Chains A and B, each alone.
Chain A
């Protein structure tokens, strides 16, 4: 087990460098210059442009830039400076991450609780009307685009019923975060419930479940301990990769509900050709993905002791 974890951690190193280098090269390949962009149509004094380019190391070879940047991250946890604002990228991330983490966490909770319960419910009633209803609802949720759902919810709950605030003005207020969290969670929620449903429905016919029922165990215990535990493996795999997706993929949701989080920051960094900010963000997202998938793999052993790690 320890060796397995160590090996997985070592595997992260090439993935980490590969992804960051790719992002660096991609931003570099885009036309447009972040320093020129500061001046817009009017152009700036060439001396100031040269001084700024030098300060951010943009006058160097791209690989030298990458090397220096990585050196900064690894040796000093220094993610560089955002060119537009002149603020350290760590500060920018520090502003954006808690907001997205809260939104993503909220969405994740909704996704697990509602998604899994719906799935278990449908799975236990497989083939009956209740099951069909859940399948229909989830199909609908998967097929409606995020922005359509966002505008629909806003229109119904904020404009017409005036129950909720249309936008997030205070990202620490969970009442305001409710609507965007639901929007963010819906598509994944539908997948989670469908995965759970299939898995439960299959395992219902498994020998060990029949044995458990035959032993005379109460239905509750059969479902929660025996059935659920085994059926959760594909769901946990999906949830693991979804954590990163929730954090990074919130661009549209954050835009619709005026949330100043990671999604917007990524968008903004691409538009401004801010290689350093973008790489800093992506680095952290890559780490989240890697850690989440490691946790998922370790969770397998907890869910199914037959799975062992060499």
Chain B
């Protein structure tokens, strides 16, 4: 431990960290907090990175919680106090230094620039405190991507073939192309513009290279974009650190960190979040399957010889009581009917994840999708990569848009009732996923009634907040009178639905 003052405040610090984690929906018990303190005593404060890893190992239970933890850790165990940069640079100098750091993948320099950025550009003008958004808006790091990419190639050229010298002007491109590459690969590239005076007008990434292309050039733009994202995170965490000094730590921990995965809306989820959701959905799908599984079948199965003999030990080897093999539980049918139109775009990626997760746990899942007409898409869902967006695919599939590309529950339910009712049996559970927004068309409640009569259960999951139901063209209440409709906007609600609301048998 560094100083007595620090060590005396330490237990309170850990308790506060635990409390903040709980507020973000992470299950942290007293034993975890005790563990964290033990870790801290074992590792000491010398190496912050190790301390972070060690405390994470003690308090975390799943990898998805790591982002929330990292941000809270920065607030309760700040890297430093006060400003970390001495020389306050100008905006141009920051841009220049960041371009260099992005080009050379220099993480330490990027961290220093992040600190300087917050110092120079992040201070909120009226009142005390710091704003990451303001700093990033002023710096605009995304505009440096092209220049950094260009610079990376130039320096790469200087390192790779020492002769060319790697000057960035347009004219050296043509000369450079002729001097290398004896392998006889035909040059398919159109001749580079050669007049010198146009080079200033070109996009930086269109400037012809002064060296031969390398395969890795095709990915360096993505790499630099990732570095910019990392730089943004560094600015954000630096802002939190500075704010933690001037504001109430606990309040900051509660408000300045985006909601955890559990409470994030499906409708607005981005690609990265969906990937995280996927892992959450799988256990939910398993629970759903378990809840729907009936245990009512009787009858005997084959004798389990090993366990019969094991049981017979108590009677000296005489098998008095035969033990039967456990029977695999019967699995019910599940039929999914999903709205794939553009209005539920974000939701449909989630739908896709849910459908794929359910697929693994039900013996028989049939999946139907509709925009304006309904078609079976079971095989499509099985083939597509996880998390792929179905919306664009659906809007290009004739079987789904037979009545136009805006969603029609009238025709969707109608074509299902007419063409696919045979998919339903007395063991089927129908799960309808959609926002019940019908573009002011006919509700066609008769079709929904037909479906719900034929199936054992019909349940509707609606991704819109219940307060929005029945506003505009929503038919939520109309359909809700026929089948159970549940608000299902985030993982937490889906979990509640699976655990409590789902009718069993």
Q: Tell me if chain B binds chain A.
A: no
B contact residues vs A (CB 8 Å cutoff): none
